[in-house]
Structure formats: structure tokens, C-alpha cells
Amino acid sequence: MPMLFAICYWLEHTSIGTAVRESTWLFPTIETIHIFGIILLVGSTSILDLRLLGWAFREDSVSKLARRYLPWTWAGFVIQVATGFLLFSSEATKMYDNPSFQIKMLLIVLAGVNAFVFHMLAYRKVATWDDAPVAPLSARCAGCFSILLWFGIVAAGRWIAFI
Amino acid sequence: MISKLLTLAGLLMVSLPTFAHHGFARYDTAKLITVKGTVTDFQFSNPHVEVDFIVKDDKGNVKRWAGQGSSPNMLARAGWNKNVLKQGDEITVSGHPAKSGANIMLLKNLTLSNGRELTPQAQW
């Protein structure tokens, strides 16, 4: 673990980490973009999640929604990783033992695993249930987990500052 | 390089009385205390500026303190920058102490030994 802390310490003292930490405008600007990024990421992925749950967009096929919105989800993800990394670099040693940050990272990994499992299993056979208003159980579960996990990620992210 | 970092990391892990982050609610704003101390570290950092200092009492006991300020952006408008304080500076600090009794405070006013006064009050 101290190795990980050493990496955090190193990162925090790179010119990038220092610039973000000591800036008057960079930090709040990156934070603002980070919020727009989460709108893009969670908004687009929630469309698919709600469709999988059968709560919305039932008249559209699942594959059509996935084709249309997954690129936006990925764009949001790239923005989040980039801006999140910059924010992290500015206060890495504080994040190292921040429980809310740790929970957030864990939930992001779980959201990734959930999406991966969905694409490997249920979505492989999407042709057989593409237009069904209610998706198969495993797909509904994936949609449900996704919404709950992203809810948790946003909440944990916000709580980093208050714990 | 790595071993140096590890040593440094070890030292830092047993560090100062400090605050995680935001949360001005932890301070008792009805109380204002003033102490004299010596700066041990000054971080002009987002999201909150921090001044670490030591205070000696009459018996020579040394206590570590940490003072929390607002953001670099607000303090910059009040005339602060990352060079306004340095290790070893003698300061008189006023602030709202933590409700918990920990040696941390919300900075209200900071005066250097040369008379220069630093306030967290941003000017537009």
C-alpha cells in the first residue's frame, strides 16, 4: 500500500498536479467539465438502461438505441477519465485514504464489469429479443445494476469533498 | 528514487492534524481565537488553502495547528499567492476553532511579523 501512496505523492508533485492544485481557475474549470461529462455519460447510458428495464423507449429496438447512444457514453467516459485524472493528480495523497473516493473507484470497476458481462452474454443474442418491450431477465438486471451503480458513483463522487 | 519516495510517503502518512476537505460546518463560527505561531507548511492549493503552523505555550509545549482558508481563486482576489507565506514565518492567526476541539481552525485573519495582514476576504 505505501507503494501506491508513493505513486500518489509523485503524481501530486508533477508539474500537472501542481498546476491544477495551485491554479486560480483551472481546478474549477476542470470540475465544471467533469460535471458536463457525467451528464453525457450517465444520461446516455441511462437511456439504454431504462429501455432494458422496459420503463421507457419501448417502441425502439435495443440495438438501435445502443448504436445511437453508446458512442456518447464512450465520449462521456473519455471526458471523465481525462478530467478526473487531472483533478485526482492535484490531490492524489488526499484521495489515497478518502473512503468516498475508494468507494467511487470500486463502483466504477463494478459498472465496467456489469457492462462487460451484459455485452458478452445477453447482448450477444440481442437479435432474438431486440424488439421485445421487456428484455430478458439478465438484460433487465444489467440495466438495473447500471442505473444503481452510476447513481452510487455520482453520489460517492460528490461525497469525496465532505467526508 | 523509489526508496526516497517511500520514506517520504511514510513520513507523510503520519502527518499533521488536518481536514479532509470542505465542510465549514465543522467550525464554531461563534468563537474567534487568536494564536501566535510559526509556519511549518503553506499549501496554496485547491479546493482549499491550508496553513500549517506550530504554537508554543508558556511551558514550552509545542502544538501543531492547521488553518483552513477558502479557494486559491477567492484568496488571490484578496491578494494572496503561493509565496505570501513560507516555512518559518512568524504569524498571528485568528480563526474559528473546530467544534471537535482539534487543533484546526477556519482562517479569519493572518498577520505576519512585518505587519502585513492577510485576510480571506475576497475583493471584487
Q: What is the pLDDT along chain B (124 residues), one digit of tens a residue?
A: 556 655 555 555 544 455 555 567 789 989 999 999 999 999 999 999 999 999 998 888 999 999 999 999 999 998 899 999 999 999 999 999 999 989 999 999 999 998 888 987 665 5
C-alpha of A9 from chain center: 25
Higher pLDDT, B3 or A71: A71
Smallest CA–CA distance, residue B43 to chain A, in Å, is: 8
| Dihedral angle sign, alpha carbons of residues A27, A30, A35, A38 | negative
Instruction: Kindly state whether A116 is in contact with chain B, defined as any CB-CB distance less than 8 angstroms.
Output: no
Chains A, B: CB pairs < 8 Å: 59
Distance of CA B82 to the CA centre of its chain: 13
ipTM of the prediction greater than 0.90, yes or no:
no
Q: Find out whether the peptide bond into B120 is cis, omega within 30 degrees of 0.
A: no
Each domain of chain A, given as residue ranges in start order, spans 3-162
- Asked if A86 has any chain B CB less than 8 Å from its own CB, the reply is no
Report chain A residues whose CB lies below 8 A from the CB of B76. 24
Interface test with B, best of A7, A20, A24 (most B CBs within 10 A): A24
